[in-house]
Structure 1
Amino acid sequence: MIFTTTYILFLIGIGIIVGLASGLLGVGGGFLMVPLQYFALQTIGIPSDLAFRIALGTSLTCIIPTSLSGAYTHVKESKIDILKPGIMFGVFGIIGGFIGGNISTIIPTRALEILFGLLLIGIAINMFLKKDDTENEPKLKLNYLTAGIIGIVVGFFAGLLGIGGGVFIIPILTMLFGFTMVEAIGTSTIFIPFSSIGGSISYMLSGWGANILPYSIGYVNLVNFILIIIFSIPMAHYGAKIAYKINEKHLRILFAIVLVIISLKMLKILPF
């Protein structure tokens, strides 16, 4: 059987880690799920190109229920209306996610790994250097035009890289729209399911008929999906609650550190 006990336990671990990160940091968890699934799939003999496509597609599909769990808690806990801006960005994110997911299937895997790693390093540097959230000044007005442009662009990269887009939209919300870190995290959890839907559909269609793992729909593997979300959904709820009890500066630094570790691994700088 291709799905070994070690592999299954690793997927459970991914679900726990990703769920906590999703709720706590306002990300879909794709920036963790993609590389972790990618490495796990290679250990059971899946070729690197195919492993990366499966990791991308399955990650986006897992993100939908995981982020919805965190979003529900954030909407309840937030002191401001984060539902409206989250939906505004998200509706356009579906379009971008679908386009990005289709384009990713024609780009070499190594190019995607390098792009992913460099983008995360750039975002991490910005988060390290960013001043306290109390000094945020909005540089753009939130309307349908700005939400449309940003939603499509972030959704595109979400679909392209198999992530929900939280690692991109959170810095955008804090830098350009004056959101505090916690407000940006809550809004991100609402945006992410939308962008992930478009990307998931594209990976299912583009991988249809491909010779991949058993129990798969295109590049989305159902075994990975089920094992991950069983643990990621409750952990996302728990992580979202913790987010409102942590100092925002510490939350931002934690977010940046995680990004650096994952980016260095994707760039093959770290040996593990």
Structure 2
Amino acid sequence: MAAVSLVVGLAVGVLAGLLGVGGGTLLVPIFKLGYAMDSIMCTATSLFTIIPTSVSGALSHLRNKTCIPRLGLAAGLGGAVTSPLGVWLATQSPDWAIMGAAALIIVYSATTMFRKALAAPKVPWRKKHFAAQSAGEQAGAVGDAVAAAAASVPSDADAPSASAAAEPASPAPARPLAPSLAAEKDAATVGPRELAIGVAIGLVAGLASGYVGVGGGFIMVPMMISIAHISMRVTSGTSLIAVMILAVPGTIAQALLGNINWIAGIAVACGSIPGAALGARLVPRVPERQLRFLFAGFLVVAALMLVVNQLGLWG
């Protein structure tokens, strides 16, 4: 069973790092179907496993500059406030209510992401990136050459000649930046309004996180794209920063209630930690449109697993 847990953790970790979810969306049905846990233990163990998974993925995103740290912190702090409330509500709810709520929320998020994916441009990002980078280098080289030519003109040259030499140099700005992930992150201006939106997103995600035992990324990612208007490529890392924070209070509450299966959680985390780091490194290689479709498909699979289990069709 240990080997299976490692493989499960690795797969969940890759998806977590790539898509910006803590992995609980898959871990809850996996623990329910494969480990024969009751619903409250599934949510508790999933919430615990999310912490090391999201920490690993978030650190990798920070190194790769594929996140907006301030927005992630705002959402995480908001979620940390409501996560314990979600845990308390879960202890007062029957199994079918917890699983049903998880399935409904996941389906809603998947529908939102499918719409966003269909609206995304079809141009492959890698092709666009290298084309723009090449164009930027060529423009920069031309600008440098023109500036050098202008500087070499003698100061006592006649006025028309100096004007002709200097005229092309004036519109040559600094070398244009390629649409790198770092530039995309910097372009996302985060002011008080955006931080307030982040906190509001976190409040909703934290409640869902504590109630259904997931990191909240399955709600935060669609909301950050729809409301905060940031790209999927930057949303993944930003969401993981928030997940890393908001899962802590809920995990502490579940631990105090004795609901966590520590052996299963640690075994899965041993695979999810390297998996999340790997998934985060894959983000620059996947086009924006494909990332959104992948996220939506991931949510549909998770929802189907929950419904199948609740109907008693498996296990």
- TM-score category (smaller protein): 0.7 to 0.9
| Residue 132 of structure 1, aligned match among 109, 120, 123 | 120
Q: Is the 8 A contact 2:70 2:195 kept in 1?
A: no
CA drift at 1:93: 1.2
CA drift at 1:143: 4.3
1:53 to 2:40 alignment: yes
1:237 to 2:284 alignment: no
Tell me the residue number matched to 2:65.
78
CA drift at 1:18: 1.1
1:228 to 2:268 alignment: yes
Distance 1:226 1:68 in 2: 14
CA drift at 1:104: 0.6
Q: Is the 8 A contact 1:71 1:186 kept in 2?
A: yes
Q: Tell me the C-alpha RMSD between the 2 structures.
A: 2.2
Count of residues in correspondence between the two structures: 244
Q: Give matches, 1:1-272, under 5 Å.
A: 7-42=1-36, 51-78=38-65, 82-130=68-116, 131-132=119-120, 142-205=193-256, 207=257, 218-268=258-308, 271=313
Q: Which runs of 5+ in 1 are unaligned?
A: 1-6, 208-217
Q: Is the 8 A contact 1:264 1:270 kept in 2?
A: no
Identity among equivalent positions (%) equals: 31
Tell me the residue number matched to 1:213.
none
SS in 2 for 1:244: helix
2:16 aligned partner, one-letter code: S
User: TM-score scaled to structure 1, two decimals?
Assistant: 0.84
CA drift at 1:155: 0.5
Distance 1:14 1:111 in 2: 26
Give deviations 1:103-127, integer Å, cap 9, x for gaps: 1111111111111111111111111
- Segments of 4+ in structure 1 off by > 6 A? none
1:156 aligned partner, one-letter code: L
Distance 2:194 2:285 in 1: 30
CA drift at 1:239: 0.5
Tell me the residue number matched to 2:133.
none
Q: Which runs of 5+ in 2 are unaligned?
A: 123-187
SS in 1 for 2:214: coil
Q: Is the 8 A contact 1:75 1:186 kept in 2?
A: yes
Q: Is the 8 A contact 2:194 2:228 kept in 1?
A: no
1:84 aligned partner, one-letter code: R
SS in 2 for 1:163: coil
Counterparts in 2 of 1:111 and 1:133: CA distance versus 1, 3 Å: farther
Distance 1:52 1:271 in 2: 16
Give deviations 1:219-264, integer Å, cap 9, x for gaps: 1111112111111101100000001110111111111111111102
Distance 1:190 1:15 in 2: 19
Counterparts in 2 of 1:70 and 1:227: CA distance versus 1, 3 Å: same
1:35 aligned partner, one-letter code: P
Distance 2:13 2:197 in 1: 30
Tell me the residue number matched to 2:136.
none
Distance 2:289 2:194 in 1: 28
User: TM-score scaled to structure 2, two decimals?
Assistant: 0.73
Distance 2:312 2:237 in 1: 31
Give deviations 1:193-237, integer Å, cap 9, x for gaps: 1111011112122x3xxxxxxxxxx11111112111111101100
CA drift at 1:270: 9.7
CA drift at 1:150: 2.2
SS in 1 for 2:273: helix
